[in-house]
Amino acid sequence: MDRRTVLKGLAGAGGLALTGGFAAPAIAQGAAARTLRFVPQANLANFDPIWGTQYVVRNAAAMVWDTLYGIDDQFVPQRQMVESEEVSSDGLTWTFKLRPGLKFHDGTPVLAKDVVASLTRWSARDPMGLMLKALQNELTAVDDKTFKWVLKQPYPKMLFALGKGNAPCAFIMPERIAQTDPFKQMTEYVGSGPFKFVKGEWVPGAKAVFEKFTDYVPRQEKPVWLAGGKQVLVDRVEWVIMPDPATAAAALQNGEVDWWENPITDLVPVLKGNKNIGVDIGDPLGNVGAFRINHLHAPFNNVKARQAILMAMSQEDYMRALVGDDNSLWKPLPGFFTPGTPLYTEAGGEILKGKRDLVAAKKLLEEAGYKGEPITCVVAQDQPITKAFGDVTADLLKKLGMNVDFVATDWGTVGARRAQKTPPAQGGWHMFHTWHAGADCINPAAYNALRANGDKAWFGWPTSEPVETEITNWFNAKSLDEEKAVAARINKAAIDDVVFAPTGFFLGYTAWRKNVSGVTKGPIPLFWGVSKTA
């Protein structure tokens, strides 16, 4: 045999292997203009919005599943799948009627029993759902279109719970799917929302495809956020996952994608300079940066040590490290609630304002009994936000004369390690960073991170009697003024006890090709009302 035969053999083997890999389905050709290519903030790795609650799963799920109510830009829940509701005068019995024409993607009509099963699964996982479940006498279907929820105590926030956009949302699924154990992943993705999920084309980590659901009947009202008529103007939406922001930017400039959810700030000037690209703030509610401190272990079990951090930290450093030079993208946040929303308050926030006082902070640390023990700071390097915060914190602790044990790792490890209550030297931790969507911080309802009920609280396990008392008061508040007064007291108490250290409030841009129109601001990317020309 000679060289040529060998080469031919090799080529043959390669060709064989290649044709073997042709399982990938062909994409509908000629529909380019009706296909919207979207680069999401993260990979859609799983698709059960009740089981997994990452933001990206929620955003995709909102295309496929509809909700009974949807909040508008004033945070008022508006009817979505529901035609009418009625609450008894004692506030205990809620009766809901579904609007006509609702259909699941498999062609079956949406019935009250589907809603009951969906709400049952949801209420096992959602914080507000769990409260409802605790108050529940019964949740039953009255007939095909009517269901009722009977409670032991009035629950004034009922409609907000059903319409909120915070994960997990109360999505409505067919009964057979909703009967899945809420702690197990479902395997079918059938909803009644404006888009169908094309499971066959789903390549986790690379692509997710949604097709227009032609039988969807939108409401007549104007669409505002999750409320109103969800008119779909494209045939397909393709989510293209791009791990490298530089590549995403180049792809948008080249017209290989149509819409990029979260361009990094430093590249925005380039995008703005391109006449074919439009740029605007994406989510007006932004994000709240969080620097979590473990309340269980020395020195931070002493409130003085935690206050020392607040006194020394510069929110401007954290924010600039993240969003760069664009001052319109961040705000100092001497509090915990989302700026620009009704409950926003700066009550008690003086310690975060003004010139940073390293000397006083060092003195507080000393009073707290800190003697140079190593401080374990776990930082996820694979998330740009936590990475930037970690770099600033390392610098801050160094300036404070603290001995930092900087654990650079990935989000998977931070997630596991932060659940450890053991001392930092034995696998526990002192501090980590994360962030909360502004939509989660508009009030205490979905704001787990603000809870301060010790062992049951979120990671860091803060204990603060005043914070907890006021949160209970908020759930029972009946007017906005009352809510505002409570929020101010929550804010002050949470800063005094340093439930966590807010690193600032930041916004992000979104960018799209100019042949796409109808991109609007919202707490999640909204695909209805978006159209594309060739």
Partner 1 sequence: MTATTTTSPPPGLVVAPRLPDLMAAPKIRRGTIGFLRNHPTVAIGGALLLLLVIIGVFAPFLFTVDPTAIAPAKRTRLPSADFWFGTDALGRDIYSRVLYGTRVSLTVGLAVALAASLIGLSIGLVAGFVRWADGVLMRCMDGLMSIPPILLAVALMALTRGSVGNVILAITIAEIPRVARLVRGVVLSLREQPYVDGAVASGTRTPMVILRHILPNTMAPMLVQATYICASAMITEAILSFIGAGTPPTIPSWGNIMAEGRALWQVKPYIVFFPAAFLSVTVLAVNLVGDGLRDALDPRMAKSP
Partner 2 sequence: MLAYALRRVLSTLPVMAIVALFVFSLLYIAPGDPAVVIAGDQASPADVERIRANLGLDQPFLVQFGSWVWRLLHFDLGTSIFTNLPVSAMIAQRIEPTLSLMMVTLVLTILIAVPLGVIAAWKAGTWIDRVIMAFAVFGFSVPVFVVGYILAYVFALKFDLLPVQGYTPLAQGFWPWLQNLILPAVALGCVYIALIARITRAAMLEVLQQDYIRTARAKGLGQGGILFIHALKNAAVPIVTVVGIGIALLIGGAVVTESVFAIPGLGRLTIDAILRRDYPVIQGIVLLFSFVYVLVNLLIDVTYTLVDPRIRY
In the set 34, 41, 53, 85, which binds partner 2 (CB under 8 A)?
53
Which stretch, 50-58, 213-221, 329-337, 506-514, contacts partner 2 (CB under 8 A)?
A: 50-58
In the set 137, 187, 403, 476, which binds partner 2 (CB under 8 A)?
187
Residue 117 corresponds to which tokens in the numbers above? 């099963």
In the set 232, 290, 365, 392, which binds partner 1 (CB under 8 A)?
392
DSSP state of 171: B
* 430 and 376 Cβ atoms separated by less than 8 Å: yes
22 binds, among partner 1, partner 2, none (CB under 5 to 8 A by kind): partner 2
Which stretch, 102-110, 295-303, 359-367, 443-451, contacts partner 2 (CB under 8 A)?
A: 443-451
46 versus 520: smaller Cβ distance to partner 2:
46
175 versus 395: smaller Cβ distance to partner 1:
395
Which stretch, 232-240, 312-320, 354-362, 508-516, contacts partner 1 (CB under 8 A)?
A: 312-320
Span 215-244, contacts to partner 2 by CB under 8 A: 240-244
- Minimum CB separation of residue 319 from partner 1 in Å reads 8
Span 393-452, contacts to partner 1 by CB under 8 A: 394-395, 398, 404, 406-410, 412-413
398 versus 456: smaller Cβ distance to partner 1:
398
Residue 448 touching partner 2 (CB under 8 A): yes
Amino acid letter, residue 110: V
- Minimum CB separation of residue 446 from partner 2 in Å reads 7
Residue 317 touching partner 1 (CB under 8 A): yes
Q: Would you report the helix, strand and coil content of the chain in percent, each value rounded to 5?
A: 35, 20, 45
Span 460-519, contacts to partner 2 by CB under 8 A: none
Residue 14 touching partner 2 (CB under 8 A): yes
In the set 12, 156, 204, 269, which binds partner 2 (CB under 8 A)?
204
395 binds, among partner 1, partner 2, none (CB under 5 to 8 A by kind): partner 1
Q: Residues 384-390: contacts with CB within 8 Å, 24+ apart? A: 384/264, 384/322, 385/287, 385/289, 385/322, 385/433, 385/435, 386/411, 386/414, 386/432, 386/433, 386/434, 386/435, 388/318, 388/321, 388/322, 389/289, 389/291, 389/318, 389/321, 389/322, 389/433, 389/503, 390/433
Place of tokens 């044990």: 405
In the set 91, 205, 255, 269, which binds partner 1 (CB under 8 A)?
269
- Minimum CB separation of residue 488 from partner 2 in Å reads 25
d(CA 181, CA 517): 41
47 versus 528: smaller Cβ distance to partner 2:
47
| Residue-wise DSSP of 358-410 | HHHHHHHHHHTT--S-EEEEEEESSSHHHHHHHHHHHHHHHHTT-EEEEEEE-
| Residue-wise DSSP of 188-222 | -----SSEEE-GGG-BTTTEEEEEE-TT----SSP
Q: x-or-dash pattern for partner 2, window 334-363, by CB under 8 A?
A: ------------------------------
Residue 125 corresponds to which tokens in the numbers above? 């996982």
166 versus 314: smaller Cβ distance to partner 2:
166
Q: What are phi and psi of 247, to 5 degrees?
A: -70, -40
b/e sequence 420-459, b meaning 16+ C-beta within 10 Å? eeeebeeebbbbbbbbbbbbbbbbbbbbebbbbeeeebbb
Residue 127 touching partner 2 (CB under 8 A): yes
325 binds, among partner 1, partner 2, none (CB under 5 to 8 A by kind): partner 1
Taken in order 350, 352, 358, 364, the sign of the CA dihedral is positive
Q: State the CB neighbour count (10 A cutoff) for residue 372.
A: 8
Strands 431-437 and 374-380: parallel
Beta bridge partners of 197: 210
Question: Which residues, other chains included, contact 364 with Cβ-Cβ below 8 Å and sequence gap of 6+?
Answer: 304, 305, 307, 308, 311
In the set 70, 129, 223, 390, which binds partner 1 (CB under 8 A)?
390
76 versus 461: smaller Cβ distance to partner 2:
461
What is the chain's length?
534
In the set 33, 142, 246, 408, which binds partner 2 (CB under 8 A)?
246
Residue 173 touching partner 2 (CB under 8 A): no
Span 205-264, contacts to partner 1 by CB under 8 A: 244-246, 249-250, 264
Residue 358 touching partner 1 (CB under 8 A): no
245 binds, among partner 1, partner 2, none (CB under 5 to 8 A by kind): partner 1
* 304 and 488 Cβ atoms separated by less than 8 Å: no
* 510 and 278 Cβ atoms separated by less than 8 Å: no
* 34 and 235 Cβ atoms separated by less than 8 Å: yes
Residue 27 touching partner 2 (CB under 8 A): yes
Residue 408 touching partner 2 (CB under 8 A): no
Contact residues toward partner 1 (CB under 8 A) are 244-246, 249-250, 264, 266-267, 269-270, 316-317, 320-321, 324-325, 379, 381-382, 384, 387-388, 390-392, 394-395, 398, 404, 406-410, 412-413
